Chains A and B, each alone.
Chain A
Amino acid sequence: MLTEDTPSHLDYDDLVARYNTGLVDNLRSFGFHTDYLDMWVPDEDVARSLLNLMEAAATVGCPALSLRLGAESLASLDFAGFEAAAAGRGRVVLTREGQGAILSVTELRAPAATVVAVNRTEAKRAADTAVAAAAIARPLLQPQDLAPLYSAAIAALAAAVPAPVCPPANAIKVTAQRDGLVLDAWIEPQTHIIRAVAHHGARSPAARGLAEAMAQAVMGLPVLEAADHGMIRVEFTLRGHIAHRPVAGIVTPEAADPAFALGSALLRDLLAEYRRVTGFAEIHNDFDPGPGPAWMAADEDTRRRMLTDALAADGFPLALIDISAIEYHVRVVLSLSGELGADAARALVALERCIKRRVDDRLELFLSELKDSNQTRRLSEQGAEKP
């Protein structure tokens, strides 16, 4: 509320200043709480601003206005133009007073309706984002055939000896096959979780590396999660760091490298086969791995110590970081000061990467919430009447 203003002459410049301050300081119930002023919106153009005020006053049946204009407002007012524009809305008289003037408006009336010609501007922009050439399918032979971000990790996986597969006795085996690559998964029917994975038939080192990456990524996941997000996980794991991105825009596995499309198709085939064999029909996937056992077993003090140890190990200045709360086991709420507080957005990203890597991958970082200081809401929450 900008407070009541009922002097004989309204101070126009003060009204504008209070209005603009209110736009920043007030959140809700903004306004002067005076009928005609509540409908008024000022304008950087003084003439338009005054016309708006005349219309607001006329709309609520106010017959006259008297305004004091300061020197600056007066200097920027083309009075002849304003007088002409105001002609249909009331009688205006300007009287000099010192450096400024008194603007008297009488016989106020709402503007008559006018017919406005429709003249919508045609869109003039050029075509949308340029279309790049479509990805060209190619045989996947060597790790170097994948995008450079992935080739080292794929080479290591291709060279590794796969761990022996020990499927549980009660698991159901399902198989998917594409381009010679065979993926076997043993899935627990009670939980639909993949308990063992094997692959064979890869026709190249690169395909073998990719298959091994898939096998490792989907182990322990529900089969629905593996089909929905398995290749996103594979791509993300192989990349190793969220900041290293293979494309300029949004990273999807297939955009990062067309080779990932084979993996996506195999994992979906695996789910389809599991549905066919078992009748599994669930489509809603709300899988959340949650934090790991070490974090969950730790008490509050231990968790705080784990966090500060991790941040210290990466060289973050602990004096500038206050852990305000740990909510719902996974949300770590911080207050930052000094240089970290000055660029909190970037600092939070770096800090979150640190604790995900060193403490638990499921943790999230937030700052303390900024509460609104709105009087109406506070009073309402306290059960008082609204103004």
Chain B
Amino acid sequence: MTGMVEHTQLILDGTKIAWHMDRVQAWERGERVAPITIDMALTRACNFGCEYCYAMLQENDRKVINQRIIYEFLEDCAEIGVKGISLVSDGESSISPVFVDAIRRGSELGLSMATGTNGFVLTRAKLEEILPHLTYLRVNISAGERERYAEIMGVKESWFDRVCQNIRDMVEIKRRNNLPVTIGLQMVLMPQYADQILPLARLGKELRPDYLVIKHCSDNEDGDLGVDYDGYQKLYDTLREAEAMSDDDYKVVVKWSKIEAKNQRSYQRCYGAPFMIQMSGSGLVAPCGMLFNERYKKFHIGNICETRFKDIWASDRYWEVMNYLASPEFNAQKMCGSLCLQHKVNETLDAHRKGLITLNEPEAAPPQHLNFI
């Protein structure tokens, strides 16, 4: 597989926490552990208007992450031991003026950098700059046909053509330069988008990214986005048909574990947050993206636009919030939205804490994207 020789396995439906046992053991000893992965955005804004956008529910005080702030943040991350930073979260980071700088600087500091993007403004020159510094680039694309793309993602039909061209460009640049970056497509599947599963799988086969992942849509604890979790079951055959389009260099992967889980959680404590925190494009540091809205202010820890991240991480407030999530005061089954980013890590650590599984460093070779747990 071109450019994917350093690791052997791509885990898209699971967690890699077991490959970070040193940090798990430190956590169990009650030590302060730095997050392995931070998921963040460089802005809250987005040039798209997707129907399913969870960020609509995450409104909080806007602040601007400029070059000085992001550079200091990245330096702090490297200093305290953060390993990977994904630019996804609650905004379209590629429209931030510091997008390219952030990726390059993070990579130079030894951090694994990644991004999830709609891909629209990723011109060829920008791709040439950022791809050598990325572990993965994932394009959010929830339809395989122009008209439906425009409907679902809230943009003009012509933007579909531009995004497809940008994907072709990134695949071509990766191959030409034999870059180790993984290029993926992601479909956020609502049951009413069933008609786009196969067209998108076919489009992926034509554009030749490394993978297409099809995932559920998250909702908040009140179900404000109206996701019909029972509706996914009717799509299983179609999803399997899409998976069957995989070949040696293009994988169609369905996040079955989350789709089949519907919105059920096996755990009540949130142990994953210290290993994997999320930050809003406003600079807000919170344990989880589902807690970005001002409504959840009691979980808000600080803002990198006001305080250095290393100071936020070392603050009593940070550990007070993290401990709240791990205490009997908190119940993720009752107080959280559905299937959060930390879900698989939570599931694994909870089972480990309950003695249901024994977490050991796997003997298998480390998977790809190890620092994005």
> Known contacts A23-B64, A23-B96: does B274 contact A250 (CB below 8 Å)?
yes
> Known contacts A121-B110, A236-B327: does B97 contact A243 (CB below 8 Å)?
no
Chain B 15-39: CB-based contact to A (< 8 A → 1; otherwise 0):
0000000110111111111100000
Q: Does the CB pair B177–A30 fall under 8 Å?
A: no
Q: Which residue of B lies closest to A365 (CB)?
A: B298
Q: Does the CB pair B333–A286 fall under 8 Å?
A: yes
Q: What is the CB-to-nearest-CB distance from B62 to chain A, in angstroms, rounded to a whole number?
A: 5
Q: How far is the CA of A25 from the CA of B274 in the complex (A)?
A: 31
* Residues in A neighbouring B155, C-beta threshold 8 A: 29
* Residue among A236, A245, A352, A370 making CB contact with B328, cutoff 8 Å: A236
* Residues in A neighbouring B324, C-beta threshold 8 A: 242
Q: Does the CB pair A120–B121 fall under 8 Å?
A: no
Q: What is the CB-to-nearest-CB distance from A366 to chain B, in angstroms, rounded to a whole number?
A: 5
Q: Does the CB pair B334–A288 fall under 8 Å?
A: yes
Q: Which residue of B lies closest to A290 (CB)?
A: B334
* Residue among A28, A115, A135, A232 making CB contact with B327, cutoff 8 Å: A232
Q: Does the CB pair B298–A348 fall under 8 Å?
A: yes
* Residue among B51, B81, B131, B269 making CB contact with A128, cutoff 8 Å: B81
Q: What is the CB-to-nearest-CB distance from B65 to chain A, in angstroms, rounded to a whole number?
A: 9
> B228 at interface (Cβ–Cβ under 8 A)?
no
* Residues in B neighbouring A42, C-beta threshold 8 A: 97
Q: Does the CB pair A345–B110 fall under 8 Å?
A: no
* Residue among A24, A122, A232 making CB contact with B269, cutoff 8 Å: A232
Q: What is the CB-to-nearest-CB distance from A87 to chain B, in angstroms, rounded to a whole number?
A: 14
Interface extent on A, as a size class? 35 or more
Q: Which residue of A lies closest to B56 (CB)?
A: A372
Q: Does the CB pair B31–A132 fall under 8 Å?
A: yes
Q: How far is the CA of A118 from the CA of B33 in the complex (A)?
A: 32
> A356 at interface (Cβ–Cβ under 8 A)?
yes
* Residue among A29, A129, A330, A367 making CB contact with B297, cutoff 8 Å: A367
Chain A 317-333: CB-based contact to B (< 8 A → 1; otherwise 0):
00000000000001001
Q: Once A and B bind, how many residue pairs between them come within 8 Å at the CB atom? A: 265
Stretch at the interface among B42-50, B185-193, B197-205, B245-253: B42-50
> A302 at interface (Cβ–Cβ under 8 A)?
no
* Residue among A41, A113, A115, A128 making CB contact with B97, cutoff 8 Å: A41
> A40 at interface (Cβ–Cβ under 8 A)?
yes
Q: Does the CB pair B81–A20 fall under 8 Å?
A: no
Q: How far is the CA of A229 from the CA of B124 in the complex (A)?
A: 53
> A248 at interface (Cβ–Cβ under 8 A)?
yes
Q: How far is the CA of A344 from the CA of B57 in the complex (A)?
A: 19
Q: Which residue of A lies closest to B36 (CB)?
A: A128
Q: How far is the CA of A250 from the CA of B293 in the complex (A)?
A: 24
> B140 at interface (Cβ–Cβ under 8 A)?
no
Q: Does the CB pair B177–A248 fall under 8 Å?
A: no
Q: Which residue of A lies closest to B294 (CB)?
A: A370
Q: Does the CB pair A345–B132 fall under 8 Å?
A: no
Q: How far is the CA of A45 from the CA of B263 in the complex (A)?
A: 46
Question: How many residues on the B side are at the interface (Cβ–Cβ under 8 A)?
Answer: 99
* Residues in A neighbouring B67, C-beta threshold 8 A: 44
> A369 at interface (Cβ–Cβ under 8 A)?
yes
Chain A 79-109: CB-based contact to B (< 8 A → 1; otherwise 0):
0000000000000000000000000000000
Q: How far is the CA of A37 from the CA of B44 in the complex (A)?
A: 19
Q: Does the CB pair A129–B96 fall under 8 Å?
A: no
* Residues in A neighbouring B49, C-beta threshold 8 A: 28-29, 374, 376-377, 380, 386
Q: Does the CB pair B97–A43 fall under 8 Å?
A: yes
Q: How far is the CA of A344 from the CA of B293 in the complex (A)?
A: 13
Q: How far is the CA of A228 from the CA of B95 in the complex (A)?
A: 45
* Residue among B48, B120, B180 making CB contact with A28, cutoff 8 Å: B48
19 extra interface residue pairs, beta carbon distance < 8 Å, beyond A29-B46, A124-B78, A232-B269 = A20-B97, A23-B64, A41-B94, A41-B95, A41-B96, A49-B97, A125-B110, A128-B22, A129-B22, A228-B268, A248-B319, A249-B33, A255-B29, A346-B317, A348-B297, A349-B320, A365-B298, A370-B294, A376-B49
Tell me the A residues contacting B by CB distance below 8 Å: 19-20, 22-31, 38-44, 49, 51-52, 55-56, 59-60, 110-111, 113-125, 128-129, 131-132, 134-135, 227-229, 232-233, 236, 242-243, 245-252, 254-256, 264, 268, 283-286, 288, 330, 333, 344-346, 348-349, 352, 356, 364-372, 374, 376-377, 380, 386
- Sample (21) of A-B pairs whose CB atoms are under 8 Å apart: A27-B44, A27-B46, A28-B45, A28-B46, A39-B123, A116-B128, A122-B110, A129-B22, A229-B269, A247-B29, A249-B319, A250-B326, A251-B30, A254-B28, A255-B28, A345-B300, A345-B317, A372-B59, A374-B56, A377-B56, A386-B49
